[in-house]
C-alpha cells in the first residue's frame, strides 16, 4: 500500500516537473539606470530583483533572464564607477542575454569595451555593424537556445545613434535599418535555422520616433515577442498596449517595464503549443515585500561602492521650499533659468533665452535639504553649458523639434504654444516680442543639444561663442551655493511651453 502511494506520489511529482519543463520563462528588465539600491520612493534595487529571479529559477527549469538596454546611468554608482558595478551585478544575477541602450555609450566606446570585457552576459546586436568598432568581439547578431526539440531565436535591435548619442561616443558603430535587419534575421531564424519562435530584445521605444516597437511588430511576419526598452513605457498586462498586429494579422506580444528596475516582466511560453497558445505575460513589482528574502552575499560586493556613494549623499548644498518633481514645470523652469544666468560669465553678455530638454532631468529633488549627490543624480550627464549664435529661422525649427515631443524647458521671458497634432509651434514670444526669423539670437543650452542630441539638429546650424569648462552638475552646485545662500529654491510653476487650447 505504502509502495503504491510512493509510486503514485512520484508519478504526480514527475508529472508536475514535466509540466514545468514544457514552459520557457522569459524574465525581462529594461532601463534600470544604475538603480542598484532602492530609489527615493523605496522601489527597485538589485538585491530585491535577485530574489525574484532566484525564486522563478527555483520554480522553472527553463528560464532566460534578459535586459533591453540602459542598465547604466542615473545614479552615483555609474557617475563614480563608470559601469563597473552594473556589470558585476548582472554577472551575479546571471543575465543570459542583453543589448545596449543609448546610455551605455555615455562614456564612449573604449570604457564600454572595458566593461564588456568583464561581462559574462551574451551580448546581441542585430542592426549595429561593429566591424570597425572596438566592441565587435563582444557581440553576436543573434542567439539560438534549444529546449528538447524546440528552438528559440533571440535578436537585438538598437536605435539610430545619430541624434540620440553624443557625437564621438559611438565611433566605429554603423547603424543598419532596424526593420530590415529584424525581418531579414527573423526570417533566417525561422526558415533556415528552423527556430520555433523569435524573441526580439529592443531599445528603440514603444512608439513615437520611428522605427518603434509598434512599427517593428506591425512590419514583421516572424517575430513572436518583443521585450522592449528606451521610452520608459509602462505596458501593463491587460491594457491592450501589449498586443500589436503584425503583417500577417497575427498578434505580437510587446512588453516594457517603465524605468529604474521597479518591475520585472515575466513572459511564459508553452513549448508544446507555441503555434496555438499565446504567451502569458505578467509584471512583478520590485518592492519592500521582498526584503526578508534578500541574499546578503551581495552586501560584501556592494559595500565599498556604497561607501563612495554615501559620502556624496551627505554633502548638503542648499534647501528647497517643496519637492521638485522631474515630471513637473517648476524643476524644468529652475534649470532653464540656471542655464540662462550661467551664460553671462561665458560671453560677457546676457543670452536672449535658454533651452533645456526634459530628458536630461533624471530624478526629483526632495523638500528641504538637498545634497551634492542628489544634484549629480538629477543632472548626471557629462554635459557643459554653451552659448551659441543662431538665426531666428533655425531657432524656430528647434522649437518645432521640442514641440514634437510635447515641449521642453525654456527660460523666463519665453512663451511658446504648440499644436500637438501638427507637432509645430503656433506662436513663440521671446522677452515680449514674437520670434523674428531674420534676427540672430544668443541661446544658452547644453552642448549635447547644441551638437544635435535629442534630435535637435537645428541647433547644429548655430555658432558656439562660449562654453563652460565644467560639467553641468558642477556649475549647478556652485550656482545653488551662491545664488540661494540663506534662502530656499522655490521656482515658479508656470508652463512656459504648452499645447494650444482649442
- For 486-495, the pLDDT digits (tens) are 999 999 999 9
Query: Which of 224, 299, 400 minimizes the C-alpha distance to 47?
Result: 299
Residue 369, number of CB atoms within 10 A of its CB: 11
3-state secondary structure 381-446: CCCCEEEEEEEHHHHHHHHHHHHHCCCCEECCCEEEEEECCCCEEEEEEECCEECCCCCEEEEEEE
For residues 177 and 171, the answer to whether their CB atoms sit within 8 Å is no
Residue located via cell numbers 553576436: 140
Of the CA atoms within 13 Å of residue 9, those in its CB half-sphere come to: 6
Write down the pLDDT at residue 31. Answer: 98
- Tens of pLDDT, residue by residue over 166-176, are 999 999 999 99
- Tens of pLDDT, residue by residue over 418-428, are 999 999 999 99
Q: Say if pTM beats, i.e. exceeds, 0.75.
A: yes
State the Cα–Cα distance between residues 70 and 68, nearest whole angstrom. Answer: 7
User: Class for domain 23-305, per CATH?
Assistant: alpha beta
* Contacts (Cβ under 8 Å, ≥6 apart) of 416: 399, 402, 403, 407, 410, 425, 427, 428, 429, 496, 497, 498
For domain 315-499, the CATH superfamily is 5'-Nucleotidase, C-terminal domain (3.90.780.10)
Q: Which residues of the chain have pLDDT under 50?
A: 1-19
Write down the pLDDT at residue 14. Answer: 36
Residue 250, number of CB atoms within 10 A of its CB: 14
Residue 487, number of CB atoms within 10 A of its CB: 10
User: Which residues on adjacent β-strands are paired with residue 409?
Assistant: 356
CATH 3.90.780.10 residue spans of the chain: 315-499
Write down the pLDDT at residue 20. Answer: 58
For residues 385 and 473, the answer to whether their CB atoms sit within 8 Å is no
CATH 3.60.21.10 residue spans of the chain: 23-305
- Tens of pLDDT, residue by residue over 13-23, are 333 444 456 99
Write down the pLDDT at residue 1. Answer: 30
Amino acid at each position: 500500500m505504502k509502495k503504491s502511494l510512493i509510486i503514485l506520489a512520484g508519478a504526480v511529482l514527475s508529472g508536475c516537473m514535466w509540466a514545468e519543463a514544457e514552459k520557457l520563462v522569459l524574465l525581462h528588465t529594461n532601463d534600470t539606470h544604475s538603480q542598484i539600491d532602492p530609489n527615493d520612493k523605496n522601489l527597485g534595487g538589485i538585491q530585491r530583483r535577485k530574489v525574484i529571479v532566484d525564486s522563478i529559477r527555483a520554480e522553472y527549469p527553463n528560464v532566460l533572464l534578459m535586459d533591453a538596454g540602459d542598465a547604466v546611468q542615473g545614479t552615483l554608482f555609474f557617475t563614480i564607477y563608470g559601469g563597473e558595478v552594473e556589470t558585476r551585478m548582472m554577472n551575479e544575477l546571471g543575465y543570459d542575454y542583453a543589448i545596449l541602450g543609448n546610455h551605455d555609450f555615455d562614456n564612449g566606446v573604449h570604457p564600454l569595451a572595458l566593461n564588456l570585457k568583464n561581462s559574462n552576459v551574451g551580448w546581441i546586436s542585430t542592426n549595429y555593424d561593429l566591424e570597425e568598432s572596438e566592441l565587435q568581439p563582444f557581440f553576436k547578431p543573434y542567439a539560438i537556445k534549444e529546449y528538447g526539440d524546440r528552438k528559440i531565436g533571440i535578436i537585438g535591435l538598437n536605435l539610430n545613434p545619430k541624434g540620440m548619442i553624443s557625437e564621438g561616443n559611438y565611433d566605429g558603430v554603423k547603424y543598419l535599418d532596424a526593420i530590415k535587419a529584424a525581418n531579414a534575421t527573423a526570417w533566417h531564424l525561422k526558415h533556415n535555422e528552423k527556430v520555433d519562435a523569435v524573441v526580439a530584445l529592443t531599445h528603440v521605444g514603444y512608439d513615437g520616433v520611428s522605427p518603434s516597437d509598434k512599427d517593428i511588430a506591425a512590419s514583421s511576419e516572424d517575430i513572436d515577442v518583443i521585450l522592449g526598452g528606451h521610452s520608459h513605457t509602462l505596458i501593463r498586462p491587460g491594457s491592450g498596449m501589449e498586443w500589436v498586429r503584425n503583417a500577417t494579422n497575427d498578434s505580437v506580444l510587446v512588453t516594457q517595464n517603465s524605468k529604474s528596475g521597479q518591475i520585472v516582466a515575466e513572459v511564459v511560453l508553452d513549448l508544446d503549443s507555441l503555434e496555438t497558445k499565446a504567451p502569458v505575460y505578467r509584471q512583478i513589482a520590485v518592492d519592500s515585500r521582498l526584503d526578508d528574502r534578500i541574499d546578503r552575499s551581495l552586501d560584501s560586493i556592494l559595500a565599498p561602492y556604497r561607501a563612495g556613494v554615501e559620502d556624496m549623499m551627505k554633502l548638503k548644498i542648499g534647501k528647497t521650499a517643496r519637492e521638485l518633481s522631474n515630471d513637473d514645470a517648476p524643476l524644468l523652469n529652475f534649470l532653464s533659468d540656471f542655464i540662462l544666468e550661467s551664460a553671462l560669465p561665458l560671453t560677457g553678455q546676457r543670452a536672449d533665452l535658454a533651452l533645456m530638454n526634459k530628458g536630461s532631468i533624471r530624478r526629483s529633488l526632495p523638500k528641504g535639504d538637498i545634497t551634492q549627490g542628489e544634484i549629480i543624480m538629477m543632472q548626471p550627464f557629462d554635459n557643459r553649458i554653451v552659448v551659441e549664435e543662431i538665426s531666428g529661422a533655425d531657432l524656430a525649427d528647434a522649437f518645432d523639434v521640442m514641440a514634437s515631443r510635447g515641449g521642453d524647458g525654456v527660460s523666463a521671458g519665453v512663451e511658446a504654444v504648440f499644436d500637438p497634432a501638427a507637432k509645430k509651434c503656433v506662436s513663440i514670444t521671446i522677452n515680449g516680442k514674437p520670434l523674428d526669423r531674420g534676427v540672430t539670437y544668443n541661446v544658452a543650452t547644453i552642448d549635447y543639444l547644441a551638437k544635435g542630441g535629442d534630435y535637435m539638429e537645428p541647433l547644429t546650424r548655430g555658432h558656439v561663442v562660449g562654453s563652460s569648462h565644467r560639467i553641468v552638475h558642477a556649475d549647478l552646485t556652485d550656482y545653488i551655493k551662491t545664488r540661494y545662500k540663506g534662502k530656499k529654491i522655490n521656482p515658479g510653476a508656470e508652463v512656459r511651453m504648452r499645447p494650444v487650447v482649442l
